[in-house]
Amino acid sequence: MFFVNPTPPKRERAMSLRELLTVNKVRISGAVLLAAAGALAFGACGDDDGDFENCGNGITCPAPLICAARQAKCLETACGDGIVGTYKDGEGNEIFEECDDGNVLDYDGCSADCRIETCGDGIVQRQRITYDDRGTAISIEPGEICDWGEEGVGPENCLAEDVKDAEGNVLIAACRSNLKCGNGVVDPGEICDHGNGLDSVGNWAGNVSSGSFDCSKDCGSDNSCGNGILDNDPTSIVGRTLEECDVGNADKELLPVFPVGTHETAKCIEGCVIQLCGDGKVTGDEQCDPGTVGGTTAICNSDCTLGQCGDGRVNMLAGEECDTGDSNDANQWAVEETTGQKTWKGTATCTNICKKNICGDDFYVTDSAGQPVANSDGVKEECDDGKRGSDFCTRECKANICGDLFIGKIRTVDAEGLESIFTEECDDGPTGSRTCTAQCTRSSCGDGIVNAVALEECDPGEAVAKGEDGNWANCNYDCTTPKCGDGILNASAGEECDHNLGEGSAVGNRLCNFDCTASKCGDGKINAKADEYCDPGDASRDANDPIGNWAVCNYDCTNVFCGDKLVNKAAGEECDPGTGIGQSDSWQAQAPSVRCNIDCTNSRCGDGKVNAVAGEECDPGESGDWSGCSRETCTLVRSSGAR
């Protein structure tokens, strides 16, 4: 039981212990504050001397805290003292209680802040709890599922008033239905409600994903056969077989219902299952049943007749691609004499196993004159060995001939009827290819046939002798015409080397001249790639030169100049100081040596050439004035007093 204030004021926040203790700016010691807080938290005991209130239930509350009327708890405010009145919040505002049931607990009709808990207050009270005098829950019942007073929720999605029967009995309590299928309440417009939208404690959880045994997922059907509703959604039916149809009821108030597209001859029978050709049951004049409407099996046609090749019906599940059989055409059937068993022979477009007659199926038809008849692809087959190509029959089912791009055997018959067989080595069409001649033999260099398609320029044949290098004198080993610079050394054609720089090249490389002769100094051919500057030829070397120089060229085919470090007697040099090396801009000696003058003559005192490197200071020559110059050393003669 709790008391109610007839005019509930606006709800305010309750004062805390610290706010109560300091509301009148009274200074409280830390020890007192801690003691009060401890008493509040743990129900500390104390003597009954006026500073504490004995609650009579084992709880003693230190001032200024007070006892709750029906709960083992010390209160900071008057809310919970069992008397509907007022109290001050932490800011000193006066709060009017709507109710006071003696505790500060929710879900019992009066909230922890002394407000009435009722449908429409904007707060969803998920449970209804009954507490004893110490505030211990002794019973819990389902509470509200929704509250039309909360933000975003209105009477259109939360039941605002009780739904009652004619006698006034409450069928659905206000705020106990959110007007959704799955809330466990059969709301107006629903046939049933499976309650699958509630959680384990009866609160609305949403996410309805299935129905139940006697209620569909959308709460619109009780899932019974004969209710005129096609219950075939597996998520709506739990624990019973899905309906194929619905028979309706006996007085035809509810007509039979079939799935969209059901065959017009279908019937709905007991158990709400469909009976027709294709339902898997052999009834009436049916010879068989394929098990699916309009379908077939390997032994049963779509009209529930037994299937066989030649019956004129294409049974695809039996592997048939065609069936042009006619039971009235005796020419299409072979009859076994003993048993009378009939076997279909097939036609030009359909084989005797009901496959389309195509090239490669080992089946072909000729007319009465033995001429080929067009198959299902319109091809007149001349042969068919079932392999899409064999020795005598091509992939296109034509007799094999050279040039038809099929490698096989060719059968020919001469005028006298003598048969001969030629075995093709290859077949790349009427003009041949790089590897196959037009006569269907393998093409190779040395076969004596110039195959222009294979880029052959010559082919003397293996019967013509080759040189030791594997070339012919007039043809390279790869059947190309020998050319200096083609990169092939053809000694049989007179080449000593090949620089591989192309036909007509004016240059060679270090080892090979432009004319494919081996490059060497003295061959009379200046090979700049071999660093030759000159080459008069071996025949014109100076026989009197000890190392074989020419007058215009050193023995190693380098330019002759004084200072090149090579003594060229043929060019008139007596010596060479070697001081012109690297001076290609001047091509002359830059300085003498001890034994050689700058003009490549032997250095000696009296030659008229002052060789400072040899220590000479003067040299007037044999006929010159030697006054002041020593004839022995070519040094200046200094007086004894000279310093």
Q: Would you state the structure tokens that stand for residue 379, as one six-digit string?
A: 């091809």
Place of tokens 């791009």: 405
> Per-10-residue mean pLDDT for the chain, 643 residues long?
42 38 32 39 44 87 92 92 88 90 93 90 87 91 83 78 88 86 86 88 81 91 91 89 87 83 80 83 79 86 86 87 90 88 90 92 84 90 81 86 89 87 92 89 90 91 90 94 91 90 78 91 91 91 91 92 91 89 65 92 93 92 90 85 45
- Predicted confidence at residue 284, as pLDDT, reads 60
Q: Is 23 exposed, middle or buried (0-12, 13-18, 19+ CB in 10 A)?
A: middle
Q: What are phi and psi of 53, to 5 degrees?
A: -115, 120
Q: Is 4 exposed, middle or buried (0-12, 13-18, 19+ CB in 10 A)?
A: middle
Between CA 2 and CA 67 the distance in angstroms is 16
546: cis peptide before it, omega within 30°? no
Q: Which two tokens stand for residue 264?
A: 């017009």
479 alpha-carbon distance from chain centroid: 50
**Amino acid identity of 534?**
C
Return d(Cα 453, Cα 442) in angstroms, integer.
13
d(CA 14, CA 595): 126
Tokens standing for residue 169: 């009995």
pTM for the predicted model, two decimal places: 0.34
Work out the end-to-end distance of the chain between its first and last CA atoms, rounded to an integer number of angstroms: 147
* DSSP assignment letter at 519: P
CB 193 within 8 A of CB 182: yes
Element (H, E) at 30: helix 30-42
> In which element (H, E) is residue 455 found?
none
**What span, in angstroms and rounded, lies between the C-alpha atoms of 152 and 10?**
21
Query: 137-142 and 163-164 as β-strands: parallel, antiparallel, unpaired?
Result: unpaired
Q: Across the strands, what pairs with 3?
A: 100
Please state whether the peptide bond connecting residue 64 to the residue before it is cis, i.e. omega within 30 degrees of 0.
yes
The identity of residue 330, as a single letter, is: A
Angle at 302 between CA 296 and CA 305, to 5 degrees: 105
Q: What backbone torsions phi and psi does residue 326 show, to the nearest 5 degrees?
A: -135, 110
What pLDDT sits at residue 261?
A: 82
**Cα dihedral across residues 97, 103, 108, 111: positive or negative:** positive
How many C-beta atoms surround the C-beta of residue 185 within 10 A?
22
Give yes or no for a contact between 634 and 618, defined as CB atoms under 8 angstroms apart: yes
